[in-house]
Amino acid sequence: MCQLLGMNCNVPTDICFSFEGFSARGGKTDDHSDGWGIAFFEGKGCRLFLDAKPSIDSPLAELVRRYPIHSTHVIAHIRKATQGKIALENCHPFRRELWGRYWVFAHNGNLPDFHPENHGIFQPVGDTDSEKAFCLILNTLRNNFPKGKPPLRLLYPVLREITAELGSLGIFNYLLSDGEHFFTHCSTKLCYIIRQAPFAAAHLIDEEMTVDFSELTTPSDRVAVIATTPLTDNEFWTPIQPGEILVFQDGLPINFE
């Protein structure tokens, strides 16, 4: 299966450190080598880098590791194909526009018995279960709120219901964002860490690399990093509970339960 990496912050932050460790899993420390992708929101704009090559061999991934793009909402994915051939159109994250905002989605898992009829507005371009699930989520949101994005308290129950429906079909960990809210769903495996003052040093699991965040931050910075499995070995990562959708904003989870 695949792996997920997400970041949500209160000020635009680069993801170079976390992506260094994460992208090593795309063929070096792990075997997720069937493509990768990363999306950065910058205001309402959104950049998406995709490659069907392993992230350790990709000149694009090298650029993302070296070129600090500052963003408040980042979603990254390394792929180990379950459904759908190795091809650009099957690389996550997927992006669509809904209500005049870009929506970005990446999935870790497998929905073996998911064969929806594509009668909605949003239709898959590739042939993964993941993109089909994303289209179903967006079609459901749009059908419930045709006029525009509703307040989160109205959107959340609709998202929870369609997520539960999809989650009943298999493994369905995902990251979803429109650049305003950052949704994370744990089906089997997803964890997060909040970095805030007092900042300390962090050491990667997948690369021999340490960063002292106290040298790079201001006291008001707050960064949530969400990943399939912890990226560092000297910090405590909080597991998200199976069945839970955590919504992050400004680097903190908002709890609806």
Residues labelled as active-site residues: 2
Residues counted in the chain: 257
Interface with its own copies, residue 150, by CB under 8 A: no
Partners of 103 in the β-ladder? 96
Which of 120, 128, 236 lies closest to 174 in space, CA to CA?
Answer: 128
Q: Shortest distance, CB of residue 13 to its own copies, whole angstroms? A: 16
Binding of its own copies by 151 (CB under 8 A): no
Residues between 49 and 108 that touch its own copies (CB under 8 A): 49-50, 52, 59-60, 63, 67, 87-91, 95-97, 99-102
- Contact with its own copies (CB under 8 A): which of 44, 180, 234, 238? 44
Instruction: Please report where in the chains the tokens 């994303």 appear, as a residue.
Output: 134
236 interacts with its own copies by CB under 8 A: no
Please state the closest distance from residue 103 (CB atom) to its own copies, in A.
11
Number of residues that bind its own copies (CB under 8 A): 33
Q: What is the DSSP letter of 16?
A: H
**d(Cα 252, Cα 44) in Å, to the nearest integer?**
20
Nearer residue to its own copies within complex by CB, 46 or 227: 46
**Using rule CB under 8 A, residue 149 touches its own copies:** no
Is 23 a binding residue for its own copies by CB under 8 A? The answer is no
Element (H, E) at 251: none
Nearer to its own copies, 43 or 198 (CB): 43
Task: Tell me the three state secondary structure of residue 77.
Answer: strand
Asked if 123 is part of the footprint of its own copies (rule: CB under 8 A), the reply reads yes
**Among 153, 157, 149, which residue's Cα sits nearest to residue 177?**
149
Contact 171, 193 (CB under 8 A): no
Helix (H) or strand (E) holding 165: helix 152-167
Give the residues lining the site for its own copies (CB under 8 A).
Answer: 42-50, 52, 59-60, 63, 67, 87-91, 95-97, 99-102, 118, 121-126
